[in-house]
Chains A and B, each alone.
Chain A
Amino acid sequence: MQLEEKEVLIIGGGISGITVALELAQSGIPSTLIEREPSLGGLSASFCCKASESCNKCFACVVDKRISEIHQRQDISIMTQTEVMGVKGNGGKHRVSLKKGKERIDLKASAVVIAAGINPFDASQKVEYGYGRFKNVITAKDLDEMLRYHGALFRPSDGKLPKTITFFQCVGSRDESIGNLYCSQVCCAYALRLIKAIRYQYPEVKATFLYMDIQPAGASFQQFLTSCREDKGIRLIRSLPSKVYHSPLSDTLRVRFTDPERGEVVEDSFDLIVLSIGMVLSKEAKHLTELFGLNLTEDGFIASPPPQTGVFVTGACSGPKDIDRSILHAKSAAFLVQQHLRGRS
């Protein structure tokens, strides 16, 4: 089963790209991994640990481990701050021209893996929630970074600990008004995990979770959800808020939503609002689909081309995925790449 050394180009240094590269290296296939940003890890590298008294299975630590693992390997060449400029050829004989700073590099690749990832939904599009206008309306990504780098929860406006915090689910997902007719599949789990982690670190903080439907994730989710439901400091309310107002005097945010218990519209005040933003395909990934002549799915993610094209799509850019499933999909993509290369030799 000896394979000839053939270049595999992996576009995107997030967890999916990293996993593909590591898996291929395990099978003895060297690859080149390119990443637009100065460091590897992509979106998931900014996530914080969401454990409470025990691990809540968010997989964020796995990303950090994989990043340090890939840096230790010498059979994977990593090029950061590198972008794809053009593509020639097809059917597994691709010539890809890359740009790293001012440098131009041409690369021959027998297989190209696109793991370009996604962008978090731009929350300012939901004007009614006031992201970008009110300091204390933040996205879950902002919260993740706050907890990861500062290890503490605080209100952006005054640096104080918020006593009440609310999560708005489905921001940018399952939303006809912005045309995103898909579930981002990760937000329920990450928001609840964040709530749990915050409640563990700051038992005095009360959390509210405004949602449509709770989407399960993984084998231990039931147990986790039950523990959320039993927690007196967490209110789970099936209702999506309609609008956020800011009261400048008390610096709190008033939220208008339908209370399903009372069957009427109510208002409640919170110190901090977290928008659980979904996933959208990034502009750069869209550009790649044009370069490689790929199609988009109905939901606006990249559709997988047939394997004989030598182009493989994996990770969240092929449809919303959490870290766990991204790793799994990347492994299966690595297998397809291997099969493709074997078929050609």
Chain B
Amino acid sequence: MPRIGIFIDTLQGSIPASFQEKISDYVKKLPEIAFCLEEENLASSEALSRMGKRLEAGGLDGIVIIGGSPKLYETSFQKLRHPLPLNPYLFAVANIREQALWLMLEEEAALERAKTIISKTIRAVSHSKPIETQSLPLKPDVLILGGGITGISIAQELAKAGIHVFLVEKGTHLGGKALELHRFYNRPLEVRKWMDEKISVVKNNPQITLLTQTELKRLEGHLGRFQAKIQGPDRTETVLAVSAIVAATGYASQRETKGIYRHKRVIVFPEMEKLLSETKGPSLLWDGKKIEMVTYLLDGVNEDIKVDSINAVKQALILQEAFQCQVAILCKDVKVAADGMERLYRKAREKGVLFFKYEEPPKLSIVNGQIQVDVKDTAAIQKREQWPVSILSDFVVVSEAFVPTPETESLSGLLKIHLGNRGFLMEDNPQLLRVRSNRRGIFVAGACRFPQEVSESLIEARAVTQEVTALLSKGTYTYDLAVAEVDPKKCAVCYTCPRLCPHSAITVEKYGEKNVYITSGTGQETKWGAAKVDPASCYGCGICVAECPAKAITLQHLTDAQIYAQMGMME
């Protein structure tokens, strides 16, 4: 018979005294009970120290707290390891406030319900076992994949925080897509200059090992012990030992090349950006002729990405103000959901930039060497038959499609992180808070997650830096062994769990104990392995446990017996 100690928490009176008395009477009659004490506010430090004193006497197999939601207590006992002389996993909470008292119409029913909850909890806790804590040393070494604006910023900030960074870029130079920009929409800087400064800081920082023309080839290990094999320019391979990894590989753009899109007067944003940065004179020239009319055609391919809209308004203002061009912007919606954009948009309208909102895609045709754009403007207050408008333009600037880089898919395989619906890394699961990946110790930042404006990428870069420094700052990662564990003797090596583990925490490792075959003549062991869960990477969700066909996996803190006890049916 296990001996269970009981604490009744009245939660500052939210469990009425009369109710609490009935509960005490019931509890005291139970055979397993070693003692039953009452507290007004168990989460207070005084109550905890009283509890500590009471527990020092020892001789207990578990503690049941009768009170409110377990969420009120659990972390104070488990994660923070309040110095109580009993393992935190031997505590269980009978939530009679939220789930009995408050959910029941009559007190009688509430009392019955509370009793059931208490007896179930007592049975569950008698199946609990102590769970130990482990820690994993973390060296301050981080691998950043991608030398674009996001990667550079993260490297710079991490280096400031005293973390050594391997910055790996597959191209020959740093900078990435940001170099296609000439000016920002929201700050009076030249992108090139600003980037050059950042790049030179990165190049000259002894904390940053810069590896260009280098790619990730293979990744082994888990949080704190990643072994990344990289291949350099002369096909040399090196293995980097890092604690964490940041993927910031950016996006690619794809330009439409069919039909009229091949026409030299149909250009894309980077080309216009270049033209604007290279032209000094009072007017924009093309083949010796002045450019007078420029049309922007947006939302054809990137309807939900703000960047094009922002760049179009930004360029339109330069074209109108510095080069006296007439600009028309054709879009489905004007995207102004960025700081300062609404004012910029209004300014553009005041300066005479024309905005047309279409539903049907505008038609492009060549008329006398110029491009004619036919659009039906749905925004104007006029009848449907008056919608069509034709614009004869010297230039039509169209969006490029923003797509994942060609390596994204293989990268997701190497890093064992998820691809989103559109093929970018991770995309958005609200629970991952944007920058985390599904694997502990791997982060995703910038446009490889989703194409965005530079200032957004910079914020994201800083957020990643925060996550990485928070992870590495203590020098160790401490975790409870409240994780899944495989019994290698029962494992059928069916690869179900490594395939299904959402956090890629399971690998099939070689075990000496099982199925050792010695290849004849060589004396070399070729071992048939068993699945192994990396405890530091496991989140304890239990998916593998439920899926294992051989019942070889146990969730240490929530075994079958504990679940059946909660169901009120013991075997």
- Mark interface residues in A295-315 (1 if CB within 8 Å of B CB, else 0): 000110000000000000000
A260–B305 alpha-carbon span in the complex (Å): 25
CA–CA, A242 and B462, complex, Å = 43
Q: A27-B470, A62-B430 are in contact. Are A262 and B383 (CB under 8 A)?
A: yes
Contact B430 A61 (CB under 8 A): yes
Q: Nearest A residue to B459 by beta-carbon distance?
A: A332
In the complex, chain A residues whose CB is within 8 Å of the CB of B341: 183
User: In the bound complex, do residue B379 and residue A62 qualify as a contact, i.e. CB atoms below 8 Å apart?
Assistant: no
Please state if B435 and A319 are interface contacts (CB–CB under 8 Å).
Answer: no
- A62 / chain B contacts, CB cutoff of 8 Å: 430-431, 433
Assembly CA distance A342 to B469 (angstroms): 12
Per-residue 0/1 for B61-93: is the Cβ within 8 Å of any A Cβ (1 yes, 0 no)? 000000000011011100110000000000000
Contact partners of A218 in chain B: CB under 8 A: 428, 450
Measured CB to CB, the nearest residue on chain B to A61 is B430
User: In the complex, which residues 304-345 of chain A have their Cβ closer than 8 Å to any Cβ of chain B?
Assistant: 319-320, 324, 327-329, 331-332, 334-336, 338-339, 342
Given contacts A263-B381, A336-B462, A338-B466, contact A219 B420 (CB under 8 A): yes
The answer to the question of A86 belonging to the interface, with a C-beta cut-off of 8 Å to chain B, is no
Chief secondary structure at chain B's binding surface: loop
Tell whether, in the assembled complex, residue B384 and residue A262 are in contact, meaning their CB atoms are under 8 Å apart: yes
Asked if A263 contacts B304 (CB within 8 A), the reply is: no
* B305: chain A residues within 8 A (beta carbon): 216
Q: Which residues of B contact A217 (CB under 8 A)?
A: 337
Contact A28 B473 (CB under 8 A): yes
> Which of B161, B462, B465 is the one whose CB lies under 8 Å from A1?
B161
- A339–B80 Cα gap in the complex (Å)? 25
Closest to A56 in B: B430
Q: Verify B379–A260 contact, CB threshold 8 A.
A: yes
Q: Does A324 contact B306, Cβ atoms closer than 8 Å?
A: no
Q: Determine if B338 is an interface residue (Cβ-Cβ < 8 Å).
A: yes
Q: Is B351 an interface residue (CB 8 A)?
A: no
Q: Is A134 at the interface (CB under 8 A from chain B)?
A: no
Instruction: Find the B residue at minimum CB distance from A27.
Output: B470
With A181-B346, A183-B341, A221-B304 known as contacts, the answer to whether A328 contacts B381 (CB < 8 A) is: no
The answer to whether A182 touches B343, judged by C-beta atoms less than 8 angstroms apart, is yes
A43 to B: closest C-beta gap in Å: 18
Which residues from 213 to 246 on chain A have a C-beta closer than 8 Å to any C-beta of chain B? Answer: 213-223, 225, 238
B386 at interface (Cβ–Cβ under 8 A)? yes
Q: Which residues of A contact B467 (CB under 8 A)?
A: 331
Knowing A73-B75, A225-B304 are in contact, say whether A57-B430 is a contact too (CB < 8 A).
yes
Which B residues are in CB contact (< 8 Å) with A57?
Answer: 428, 430
Cβ distance A280 to chain B, nearest Cβ, rounded Å: 14
Contacting residues, chain B, for A223 (C-beta < 8 A): 421
Give every chain A residue within 8 A of B157 (Cβ-Cβ). 335, 339
Complex contact A74–B434 (CB within 8 A): no
A26 at the interface (CB under 8 A from B): yes
A277 CB, nearest partner CB in chain B, Å? 16
Query: Which of A214, A258, A261, A336 has the most C-beta atoms of chain B within 10 angstroms of its own C-beta?
Result: A214
Answer whether residue B263 sits at the interface, using C-beta atoms and an 8 A cutoff: no
State the interface size on chain A (CB cutoff 8 A): 59
Q: Is A23 an interface residue (CB 8 A)?
A: yes
B residues 258-309 in Cβ contact with A at 8 Å: 303-306
Note all chain A residues with C-beta closer than 8 A to B450.
218-219
B336 in complex: contacting residue of A183, A219, A329, CB < 8 Å: A183
Residues in chain A near residue B435, CB distance under 8 A: 328, 331
Q: A215-B337, A216-B335, A220-B427 are in contact. Are A332 and B384 (CB under 8 A)?
A: no
CA distance A262 to B386 in the complex (A): 10
Given the contacts A262-B383, A263-B382, A298 and B335 also touching, CB distance less than 8 Å: no
- Check B434–A324 contact: CB distance below 8 A: yes
Q: Does B487 contact A (CB under 8 A)?
A: no
Q: Is B549 an interface residue (CB 8 A)?
A: no
> Would you call A174 an interface residue if the criterion is a C-beta within 8 Å of the partner chain's C-beta atoms?
yes
Q: Taking the complex as formed, is A185 at the interface, i.e. its CB lies under 8 A from any CB of chain B?
A: yes
Is B342 engaged at the interface, CB distance under 8 Å to the other chain? yes
CB of B339 within 8 A of chain A? yes
CB of B460 within 8 Å of the partner chain: yes
List residues of chain B with CB within 8 A of the CB of A222: 303-304
Check B463–A331 contact: CB distance below 8 A: yes
- A residues less than 8 Å from B460 (CB atoms): 328, 332
Q: Residue B474 at the A interface, CB < 8 A? A: yes
B323 within 8 A of A: no
Q: Find the residue from B336, B420, B449 having the highest chain A CB count within 10 A.
A: B336
Q: Is B346 in contact with A183, judged by CB distance below 8 angstroms?
A: no
Give the chain A neighbours of B471 by CB distance below 8 A.
26
B217 interface residue (CB < 8 Å to A): no
Q: Does B356 contact A (CB under 8 A)?
A: no
In contact, B306 and A328 (Cβ under 8 angstroms)? no
Q: Given A72-B75, A335-B466, A338-B469 in contact, is the A215-B333 Cβ separation under 8 Å? A: yes
For B72, what are the chain A residues with a Cβ–Cβ distance below 8 Å? 71-72
CB neighbours of A72 from chain B (8 A): 71-72, 74-76, 79
Query: Which of A65, A221, A327, A335 has a CB less than 8 Å from the CB of B469?
Result: A335
B346 with A335: CB separation less than 8 A: no
Known: A298-B343, A327-B434. A342 touches B421 (CB 8 A): no
Contacts of A71 in B (CB 8 A): 71-72
- Could you tell me the distance between the alpha carbons of A215 and B311 in the complex, rounded to whole angstroms? 16
Q: How far is the CA of A55 from the CA of B432 in the complex (A)?
A: 14
Residue of B nearest to A319 (CB): B339
The verdict on A1 contacting B162 (CB below 8 Å), with A27-B473, A298-B343, A335-B462 known, is: yes
Give complex CA distance A80, B332 in Å: 46
Check if B216 is an interface residue, CB within 8 A of chain A: no
Q: Return B468 CB to nearest CB of chain A, in Å.
A: 10
CB distance from A161 to the nearest CB of B (A): 26
Complex Cα spacing A254 to B445, Å: 48
Bound-state CA distance A308–B49 (Å) is 41
Minimum distance in angstroms from B401 CB to a CB of chain A: 12
A332 → B minimal CB distance (Å): 3
Bound Cα distance from A338 to B469, whole angstroms: 10
Complex contact B160–A219 (CB within 8 A):
no
Give Cα distance in the complex from A342 to B339, angstroms: 30
CB-CB < 8 A to A299: which residues of B? 339-340, 343
Report A-chain residues with C-beta under 8 Å of the C-beta of B465.
Answer: 332, 335
Name the residue on A nearest B74 (C-beta): A72
List of A residues within 8 angstroms of B166 by Cβ: none
Contact: B466 with A332, CB < 8 Å?
yes
Q: Any chain B CB within 8 A of the CB of A154?
A: no
Determine if B463 and A335 form an interchain contact, defined as CB atoms under 8 angstroms apart: yes
Question: With A and B bound together, what is the CA distance between A260 and B434 in angstroms?
Answer: 38
* Contact, CB under 8 Å: B335 / A213: yes
- Please measure, in the bound complex, the distance between the C-alpha atom of A261 and the C-alpha atom of B160, giving whole angstroms: 58
Q: Cβ of A182: which chain B residues have Cβ within 8 Å of it?
A: 339-340, 342-343
Mark each residue of chain B from 326 to 370: 1 if its CB lies under 8 Å from any CB of chain A, else 0.
000000111111111111001000000000010000000000000
Known: A1-B162, A59-B430, A185-B337. 15 other contacts (CB 8 A): A1-B161, A57-B428, A62-B431, A72-B72, A213-B335, A215-B336, A216-B335, A219-B420, A219-B428, A262-B384, A299-B339, A328-B459, A331-B463, A335-B463, A338-B161
User: A-B pairs with the 5 shortest C-beta distances?
Assistant: A72-B75, A332-B462, A263-B383, A215-B337, A331-B463
Query: 6 A–B contact pairs at CB < 8 A?
Result: A72-B79, A182-B340, A188-B337, A213-B357, A218-B428, A338-B466
Chain B residues engaging chain A, CB cutoff 8 angstroms? 71-72, 74-76, 79-80, 157, 160-162, 303-306, 332-343, 346, 357, 378-379, 381-384, 386, 420-422, 424, 427-428, 430-431, 433-435, 449-450, 459-460, 462-463, 465-467, 469-471, 473-474
Give the interface of A toward B (CB within 8 A).
Answer: 1, 23, 26-28, 55, 57-59, 61-62, 65, 68-69, 71-74, 174, 181-183, 185, 188, 213-223, 225, 238, 258, 260-264, 298-299, 319-320, 324, 327-329, 331-332, 334-336, 338-339, 342
